[in-house]
Chain A
Amino acid sequence: MINFLRLKWVYFSVSAALLVLSAYSLFFNRLKPSIDFTGGSFWEFRFSQEVTKEDLTAFFNDYGFAFNQLKSNDGFLYVVSAPPLEQSDKQPLQLAIEEKFGQIQEHRFETLGPNVGKELLFKTVTAVCSTTILILFYLAWRLKNLLYGLGAILGMLHDSFILLGVFSWLGKFWGVQIDTLFVTAVLTTLSFSVHDTVVIYNSVQEEVKKSGGSLIDSINFALNRTIIRSINNSLTIIFMLLALVLLGGGTIRWFVVALLVGTILGTYSSTFLATPLLLELNKIFKLKK
């Protein structure tokens, strides 16, 4: 049997380091909200011949079209983000572009008013809060012990905070934006991270009941017993997600990356954070008694 708990300070330090890095990045780099949150327009189109970024920028300036950002990797496929653009303004702009640079093929056009964005922010906060509360209630009822519930929730918050941190780093280096789908990924991560924790906690409780031994031994036993299952289960999910990241369409790539990061974090925190934390919580709680 491996003594997992011997190294608990290593796990705590790793988690602390990740949390600090995330906090630092969230504070200094911040998250880059997409038009889902801020309102605005997003326009993706493809030229039939190569057009340089400089030419297109110059053209937009001449035309008097105020855009926020112009992105292209190959000179064919362009992504333009701008303040909200009405269809009646977009149509003549498109005609002017086509007259100058030749036919374009529109892939996607989205426009959102600023109020919708504020609303999404509000809805995100309520969604995260209600999911957390519902899961807490379920755990409290299921595990019949607040300490276990607390441990699982702490692990879950740890995961979502680091996920946010990872995306603020991604935003800094790759300009990755936070959109509605990212919110979905965060909520899914909440459930995934508890998912594994519950299995381990169940095992701990079963062992405590059966052997009547100390909590440390029970926890170690439960960890040994569940570690392979945790890893194998995450591996199968990771296989699916990796295939999607590498092959899947561009519009959902970062959504899948968020799910992938969330799954890995969930597996890590269940085994290496939430469970050792259970022991510490127990100590603190008993000292106070």
Chain B
Amino acid sequence: MARVRLYFTTANFFLFALICAISLGVKFLLYLFMKAKNRYLLLAITLISLVCLIIDLPRFHLNVPFGEKFKINQDFGGYNLDFTLFGKRIFRNLSIRQGLDLKGGLQVIYEADVSSLKEEYRSQALESLRENINHRVDLYGVSEPSIQTSRSGNSYRLIVELPGVEDIDRALEMIGQTANLEFKRQSQELLDYQEKLSNQSETQEELLGFSGEYFVDSGLTGADLAKSVVSFDQQTGKPEVGFEMTPSGGQKLEALTKEIQGQPLAIFLDGQILSAPVVQAVIKDQGRITGNFSLQEAKDLVIQLNAGALPVPVTKISQQNIGATLGGDSVERSLAAGVIGLSLVAFFMFVYYGRLGFLADIGLLVYGLITLALYKLIPVTVTLAGMTGFILSIGMAVDSNILIFERIREELAKETPLNMALKLGFGRGWDDIKDANVCTLIACFVLFNPFDWSFLNTSGLVRGFALTLALGVLVSLFTGVVVTRTLVRVFYRK
């Protein structure tokens, strides 16, 4: 079946590297924190939580009139990263990125027809296809598009995601069309034939039916255009496409129009004739394409011409459009489920483990703050499956606490002094926690498929789930062990 290949997109590899870095970081922090004094730890945890809280805050308006002298009337939250480092401006929008299924929009998977290309050029062709479509999407004006290449066996694919797009037809047309513009001149055969017609010297039979090609390539294509814009016919007011030629294209056009003055010059788009105006005069560097365009068609053609023709033709193998209303509803319901589930877990921990459980709940809160901040910083594109991963990981986050608390209880039952029991509980609990979580991380690794191995899944939905689950496991290692341990040491007395 599909051949195994090490082929990865930089974005996914970057994410994977980041996750590895985070896990190393967690390990390092754990090491540091095992040694540090409690009050420094408490300070560090408070600081981390505060920073995360600031990142997490959504934009809100606060208006508190305390009196004449002291008033708060200001926007808070929704901050972005925006600072200058060594003269370089760094800007990052820190809003949660919503996936297609939450925001609504269009996802299309195209298969590129690379059969005409040699093996070694195929990946390159796919990459330039990606750039071209990226350019088109940019010109079309979609916010936060995602265009990824992927290989599956011998199939070269492009996954295009356009959040918030409503006019599906237009978007599909605009992306998927090859947009191969050609200028064609009349064929010699046709010219001869027309001459014969005008001479009327041949017999009737030979005049019937002309079977040759009408138009042949003139050597001038869309690649010779430097820029195109939408303009309007001065007489009829109809939309048309005006263009400027590149210097070399201008020379070609000049030579061509000189030669075929008085004859039609046909303009073809993807093999379909758009118009065939008769050349009135020698044209050098600019011209216009008239056709029966609507304003929108003219606009889209301009986008395609400016981005250039697709290097290889594409066929659509999958399409998915999601209405925006469905997404908004799902977000609200999942959030409600998250809040209710979280309160149940917190309540359960408090009832079952008493004060220890309460401290674990604070750890859980810190967990939520850190995870959310990471989502915004990385950034993680949140899909419904991703939200499930997050909610699931909350349930798992308290696992480490339960393991540790059970050990502590066991020791206390043996009448071990509190200090010793805490120490043993956290120490032994840690081994179990590590082992148990590695298995989950293994599954996440296979699901996320960071190297884009063609024999594993590449679905964005599944990856979103794996990413949020893995992040959840890593952060919960930190909060479940370090944060709770510190809280217990500082605040827990018998």
Contact = CB atoms under 8 A, between A and B. Distances in A.
Contact of A134 (B336, B436, B446, B461): B446
B457 interface: yes
Contact of A183 (B172, B336, B402, B457): B457
Contacts of B466: 184
B201 interface: no
A198 B439 contact: yes
A105 B333 CA distance: 20
Interface string B451-477: 000011101011001100100000000
A131 B445 CA distance: 9
Interface stretch (A1-9, A20-28, A68-76, A230-238): A230-238
Contact of A91 (B1, B101, B169, B462): B169
A131 B465 CA distance: 16
In the complex, which of the residues A203, A226, A247 has the most CB atoms of chain B within 10 Å of its own CB atom? A247
A191 B392 contact: no
A107 B326 contact: yes
In the complex, which of the residues A105, A240, A248 has the most CB atoms of chain B within 10 Å of its own CB atom? A240
A229 interface: yes
B341 A113 contact: no
A110 interface: yes
Given A112-B317, A126-B455, A251-B330, A240 B395 contact: yes
A25 to B, nearest CB: 25
A26 B365 CA distance: 43
Interface stretch (A115-123, A168-176, A281-289): A115-123
Contacts of B398: 233, 236
Interface residues of B, number: 72
B333 A138 contact: no
A233 B333 contact: no
Tell me what chain B mostly uses at the interface: helix, strand, loop, or mixed: helix
B116 interface: no
Contact of A233 (B385, B402, B442, B459): B402
4 shortest interchain CB distances as A-B pairs: A249-B330, A237-B395, A191-B443, A243-B341
28 contacts: A87-B316, A107-B323, A108-B321, A108-B326, A109-B322, A110-B318, A110-B319, A111-B320, A126-B455, A130-B456, A131-B446, A134-B445, A138-B439, A184-B447, A199-B436, A202-B432, A225-B410, A229-B402, A233-B396, A233-B398, A236-B402, A237-B396, A240-B337, A241-B341, A243-B391, A249-B329, A251-B330, A256-B388
Interface of B: 1-2, 101, 109, 152-153, 155, 168-169, 172, 316-323, 325-326, 329-330, 333-334, 336-338, 340-342, 344-345, 348-349, 352, 384-385, 388, 391-392, 394-396, 398-399, 402-403, 406, 410, 431-432, 435-440, 442-447, 455-457, 459, 461-462, 465-466, 469
Interface of A: 87, 91, 105-113, 115-116, 119-120, 122-124, 126-127, 130-131, 134-135, 138, 142, 180-181, 183-184, 187-188, 190-192, 194-196, 198-199, 202-203, 225-226, 228-229, 232-233, 235-244, 246-249, 251-252, 255-256, 259
